[in-house]
Chain A
């Protein structure tokens, strides 16, 4: 199994630009999670999906952030417009969909907004 796949691995952009992060969960997993990790705030849950439906987006910082899951094998996290304070490592994780299940993390996307 290839594990959770994220792209790009690194992204450098300028303030005001649109950024799209991509995630392919493990095949057969029903839940998908987006996290953001920074030194200051640690690991924060942004949003999670169950069976492609957003269940909890209370962690999405503001309207500049949006996430979609058009099908079971693909999700995107978009930031428009990006700001320097969005610089962080963004992780996608997937699980089989119950609270007892392990979450499997992707390698992350390191975003730098100049």
Chain B
């Protein structure tokens, strides 16, 4: 079965602390991996994605994620968070053999002053 699991539904952290949001997937075919972010009262928007090549991908606002094939993971990290990073983060997987994209349940990141 093909699925995406986000292990933490809520992650509270203090400003300037590091954070890791965890994502694992299961698939019998090759995958593409995505992280989307949803700010309050908005639609989802792409944060970063892994298609091929270097397993470490970065976003323009300091987030990074590493594709680990052996552990079937794609965890999202940021070394120092800001208040403005407060949002819900969704891990998503699409499969090479079709156009279907599966989203995880989401992790609500709350950055406190």
Residues of A within 8 A of B (CB): 4, 31, 33, 42-43, 45, 48, 50, 55-56, 91, 93, 95, 97-100, 102-108
Pairwise interchain contact B105-A42, C-beta atoms closer than 8 A: yes
Find out whether the CB atom of A50 lies under 8 angstroms from the CB atom of B99: yes
User: Does chain A have a CB within 8 A of B101?
Assistant: yes
Asked if B83 is at the interface of the complex by the 8 Å CB criterion, the answer is no
Q: Which residue of B lies closest to A59 (CB)?
A: B100
* B46 part of interface (Cβ distance < 8 Å): yes
A99 to B31 Cα, complex, angstroms: 9
Bound form: Cα–Cα A8–B32 in Å: 33
Does A43 lie within 8 Å of B32, measured CB to CB?
Answer: no
**Across the A-B interface, how many residue pairs have beta carbons closer than 8 Å?**
55
In the complex, B49 has a CB within 8 A of chain A:
yes
Q: Are A103 and B101 in contact (CB under 8 A)?
A: yes
A81 to B94, CA, bound (A): 33
Q: Which of A31, A99, A104, A108 has the most CB of B within 10 A?
A: A99
Chain B contact residues, CB within 8 Å of chain A: 32, 34, 36, 42-46, 49, 51, 90, 94-103, 105-106
Closest Cβ neighbor of A95 among chain B residues? B99
**Beta-carbon nearest neighbor of B92 in chain A:** A103
* Complex interface: chain A residues within 8 A of B95 (CB): 99
A6's closest neighbor in chain B, by CB? B43
Roughly how many angstroms separate A42 CA and B96 CA in the complex, as a whole number?
24
Q: Is the CB of B103 within 8 A of A102?
A: no
A99-B94, A107-B42 in contact; A56/B100 too (CB < 8 A)?
A: yes
B99, A102: Cβ atoms closer than 8 Å: no
Whole-angstrom distance between the alpha carbons of A4 and B42 in the complex?
Answer: 12
Contacts of B49 in A (CB 8 A): 102
Q: Is the CB of A42 within 8 A of B45?
A: no
> Given A91-B44, A100-B32, A102-B49, does the pair A43, B103 have CB atoms closer than 8 Å?
yes
